[in-house]
Structure 1
Amino acid sequence: MALDVRMLTVGPVQENCFLLKRPDADTLLVVDPGDELPRILQAIESMEATVEAILLTHTHFDHVGAVAPLARETGAPVYCPELEVQVLANINDYMRFPGFGPFEDYEADHTVAGGETLSLAGLDIDVVFTPGHSPGHVTFVVPDELAMFSGDVLFQQSVGRTDLPGGDWPTLRASIQTLLDTYPDETRVHPGHMGVTTLGAERATNPFLQG
């Protein structure tokens, strides 16, 4: 079974929002709806499925800007990292970049901390605690489909920035190593920015992971 994954690059900082479903399913999941609600809703309609859940890797504004209106439009529950629920609930208080927003706050329906396995839209999803870019960051992995949704932890030939509040390079490096040690090189990495890659490609060539 090949996972049906759609990537929408949205908003002023080019964040990747992902829609994923089993090919034979009538429900789907949305990961990190950062902006451009009309485009996201159009993509959902094109996949001929309803949204079962909205999953958040972390709560920086570029990843959650469309969460509240998407949840309202679809009725889907939002799964938020446990350590960052207050950010989602008070998003404008945490805005550190002028010229963006305002955004609509949202009270998370469910929290995840890492270590859970979610069963949603016919998929079993590992939740991995991967702090370093943000304090509560999680990565979602569908191991049966070799698919990883890494948010701002690991990018194609790069890694998440660590100069924001709560960021820490040794912590981020350890989080990435956890992913490399746990999942096979063939795992496709769907990151929060830039293009899709694989764990093996990043292990071999990512300059931030060498040495």
Structure 2
Amino acid sequence: MAVDVRMFTVGPVQENCFIFRLHDSDKALVVDPGDEAPRLLAAIEEMGVTVEAILLTHTHFDHVGAVAELARATGAPVYCPELETQILANINDYMRFPGFGPFEDYDADETVAGGETLQLAGMDIEVVFTPGHSPGHVTYTVPAEGVMFSGDVLFQGSVGRTDLPGGDWPTLAASIADLMARYPDDTRVHPGHMGITTLGNERANNPFLQGLPQT
């Protein structure tokens, strides 16, 4: 595999942020910087890379808490699901969990809706619209490298919760079925929480997926 993916589990909710690049490239991408910006910036410096973009799967607080600080420090543009830009820009207005925050708002530099192919850091990155956990959720994939960043759609042995505003199980199930149909079983899934897995492992073993259409 020619892609170098580093996982950093950050913050009180143990969210997974990813920094990835082609091996030996001096350009990298960051997915869902949820917390601990100094730790992430130290890793970026140690890798010796320039961050070309910050990619957000969705805008729940545990996935965006470090966005503003990271964007300011790196100068990288932030790609946000277009249906959730107002949340990112007014994050504290959407906080429903006491004891977290306050967080710094950020106005997205770019928006994604699904269906795009982004050319970033020497990679072609497909954006797939995967609502169900949140209204605008997207999944980022690098098909040439067999890599997927699933945010809070699909986890190792589990799936994203659907009891938050905009969540809906039939919608989430359809999103997961779409990912399963689009990409091969050996695609490595880098989720927003818990461990790294593959689509094939989840197809075979994830109890939440047993009723989904098989391809």
How would you bin the TM-score normalised by the shorter chain?
A: over 0.9
Which residue is 1:202 aligned to?
A: 202
1:24 corresponds to: 24
2: CA distance between counterparts of 1:75 and 1:65?
17
User: Any residues of structure 2 matched to 1:114-153 within 5 Å, and which?
Assistant: 114-153=114-153
| Letter of the 2:76 counterpart | A
Which letter maps to 1:157?
Answer: G
Q: How does 1:5-24 map to 2 (within 5 A)?
A: 5-24=5-24
Distance 2:39 2:55 in 1: 18
State yes or no: 1:79 paired with 2:84: no
CA RMSD, Structure 1 to Structure 2 (Å): 0.6
- Equivalents in 2 of 1:21, 1:36: separation in Å? 20
Residues 159-178 of structure 1 mapped to structure 2, 5 A cutoff = 159-178=159-178
Tell me the distance in 2 between the aligned counterparts of 1:45 and 1:6: 13
How many residues are treated as equivalent by the alignment?
211
SS of equivalent residue, structure 1 residue 132:
coil
- Could you tell me how far apart the structure 1 residues matched to 2:185 and 2:64 are? 29
Shift of the alpha carbon at 1:112? Answer: 0.0
The 4+ residue runs of structure 1 with deviation greater than 4 A are: none
SS at match of 1:185: coil
SS in 2 for 1:73: helix
The alpha carbon displacement at 1:45 in A equals: 1.2
> In the aligned structure 2, how far is the partner of 1:200 from the partner of 1:144?
17
CA distance in 1, matches of 2:47, 2:122: 16
Report how far residue 178 of structure 1 moved. Answer: 0.3
Residue 4 of structure 1 deviates from its aligned partner by 0.3
TM-score (norm 2): 0.97
Structure 1 unaligned segments of length 5 or more: list them: none
Offset, 1:46: 1.6
Residue 56 of structure 1 is matched in structure 2 by: 56
Q: C-alpha separation between the residues in 1 aligned to 2:145 and 2:45?
A: 23
Which amino acid in structure 2 is aligned with residue 146 of structure 1? G
TM-score of the pair, normalised by structure 1: 0.99
Secondary structure of 2:25's partner? coil
| Displacement after TM superposition at 1:48 (Å) | 1.1
